[in-house]
Structure 1
Amino acid sequence: MIAWLNRLVDLVEDHLTDDLDVDRLASTLGTTEHHLRRMFSSLAGMPLSDYVRRRRMTVAAADVVSGSGDLLDIAVRHGYGSAEAFGRAFQAVHGVTPGRARRDGGPFRTQPRLRFRLTVEGALPMDVRLVTRPAFRLVGHAARVPLVHEGVNPAIREHVAALPPTEHHRLKALGDAEPHGLLAVSTDLDPDRRESTELTYLHGVAVTDGVDVPADLDVVPVDAGSWAVFRATGPYPATLQSVWAATATDWFPSNPWRLRPGPEVVAVLDRADDFSTATVELWLPVEPA
């Protein structure tokens, strides 16, 4: 996987002034765009789209300062249809307009070219099991919420807190499939997992086709397939978020599996009364790499 990501970085440099066909690249590497984007985001600490924009603007800054052509020429040279669109992208990265940067010689926020290297990780074993499940449904109460990478997600907390205790009991009674218990489901995520982008969050349970789902509940159908199930115990939600990061840095690079499209599911197996600590299972949809 390290070689895939470095090849991706090389192609970004080759296509800074035009569109990068990530899907085609993924196919040539024997993987999928979904998996490639997710691994890049997790390991680089930024979405692929942000990295491309930052590198493009880093190179463009040299043209702006050198005065090689007017701003419209530079905008077109770097893949933008207008000086206004280029100016917005330039200011978003550097914090100044191209005109001011040309006049004052900066300041600039340079994005160095990335290079992924293999380091020795995985000193602590990961508690994971692989399961194959037939198609099932996730049912419950859904809401659109912003993505938060670290700490408690206030929108999710408010969504769950608004449900009366009787609703939690009703959902538990409906669930008849694994993953068992009340579930935290994330689906429709941005491919690059950019902070604050919207996702669909569902608080609910897993059910088989034999369950008659009440009309007032939202339903997320789930295809048959394999799942990697990671179990962890510790402070919540920090432990869960660190487990997700470890899947990208430790588990996927050393195992012949890749992510496939589908919801990410968290099952809370046990927790403190104040939810400060918990034992959780993170279910990720996977397929052979």
Structure 2
Amino acid sequence: MALVESLQKAIDYMEEHLKDHITIEDIAKQANVSPFHFQRTFMILTGISVGEYLRRRRLTLAAQELSTTNCKIIDLAHKYGYDTPESFSKAFRKQHGVTPSEMRKGIGKLHSYNRLTIQVNLKGADPMKYRIVERDAFQIVGIKQEFSCVTEEMDAVIPKLWDEAHKSGTIDLLIQLNNGQISGLLGVIVDFSGQKNVMEYWIATEYIGGVPDGLSRFEIPASKWVVFEVRGPVPDAIKKYMETNFFRMVPI
């Protein structure tokens, strides 16, 4: 339960500091994990990035203040981390469908996002198949693309990258090159940037040898791995597995 408590502590920290400037490093520190692993876990469990969660919650609170107080829009913009009323209005309209001024006139309906809490599901009927693997550093080769952690962009960019890799023959090339312990293809996320809220996604394979033309190389450091067996289409099968066997985050 320590992991559950740590993640909930990080969520509570975000809620307590919605009006402050906080970084992914600040948040991940509360859960005692790296920024990369916290962001990845949070995204798998919620379907959105940490940055997107903060934005939604801040704009939810801003809308509540607009409807219940006479606070000036410029003051609200500054309070919730926007440099100008224009940038605040743009973000507000993206979430709620109306500008702050229109909302005060009773136009449109607000989109409210409640805070998250972790709900633990204990299920023992379906056994979890896993193994512990300890490996030295190894090399993967493939293609990569940077993408935003915003869920909508992830859902569009990653499938498109795989589709293009199929059409270009890259998938066939990677299958032919595969000569390491891991058979088949890999989808790897690396180089998370909390400041830019972006990640780097790789389609790759484990390969021993020089880097072939047209491909890039990345070294996976020596680590101990917990390998879970998940069957089904990606990424839905992985998300379902996490929710079924571990825990999930729900709004309250």
Distance 1:144 1:34 in 2: 15
Match of 2:28, as an amino acid?
Answer: A
- When normalised by structure 1's length, the TM-score is 0.69
Q: Determine whether 1:163 maps to 2:169.
A: yes
1:104 to 96, 103, 106: 106
Distance 2:199 2:176 in 1: 30
Q: Where do 1:17-32 residues align within 5 Å? A: 17-32=19-34
Distance 2:200 2:113 in 1: 28
Match of 2:155, as an amino acid?
Answer: V
- Aligned match of 1:263: none
- When normalised by structure 2's length, the TM-score is 0.78
Q: Deviations over 1:18-68 (max 9, x none)?
A: 122442343344322222222222223332222211111111112222352
Distance 2:96 2:33 in 1: 34
Structure 2 segments unaligned to the other structure (5+ residues)? 148-152
Query: Structure 1 residue 251: deviation in Å?
Result: 5.1
- Aligned match of 1:176: 179
Check whether the contact 1:143–1:159 (CA below 8 A) recurs between aligned residues.
no
- Aligned match of 2:155: 148
- Aligned match of 2:127: 125
Alignment RMSD, CA only?
3.1
Q: Deviations over 1:78-135 (max 9, x none)?
A: 2221101111121121111001001116511111122212222353112221211111
Match of 1:212, as an amino acid?
Answer: G
Counterpart of 1:116 in 2: which secondary structure?
A: strand
Q: Where do 1:10-21 residues align within 5 Å? A: 10-21=12-23
Share of identical aligned residues, percent? 27
Higher helix fraction: Structure 1 or Structure 2?
2
- Residues paired across the two proteins, number: 237
Q: Determine whether 1:243 maps to 2:232.
A: no
Check whether the contact 2:10–2:31 (CA below 8 A) recurs between aligned residues.
no
- Aligned match of 1:276: none
Larger radius of gyration: 1
Q: Where do 1:217-256 residues align within 5 Å? A: 217-234=215-232, 237-238=233-234, 241-247=236-242, 250=245
- Aligned match of 2:43: 41
Q: Deviations over 1:228-286 (max 9, x none)?
A: 2222444xx25x63135424652599xxxxxxxxxxxxxxxxxxxxxxxxxxxxxxxxx
Counterpart of 1:104 in 2: which secondary structure?
A: coil
Distance 1:3 1:215 in 2: 47
Larger relative contact order, structure 1 or 2 (CA cutoff 8 Å, min sep 6): 2
Check whether the contact 1:17–1:79 (CA below 8 A) recurs between aligned residues.
yes
- Aligned match of 1:68: 70
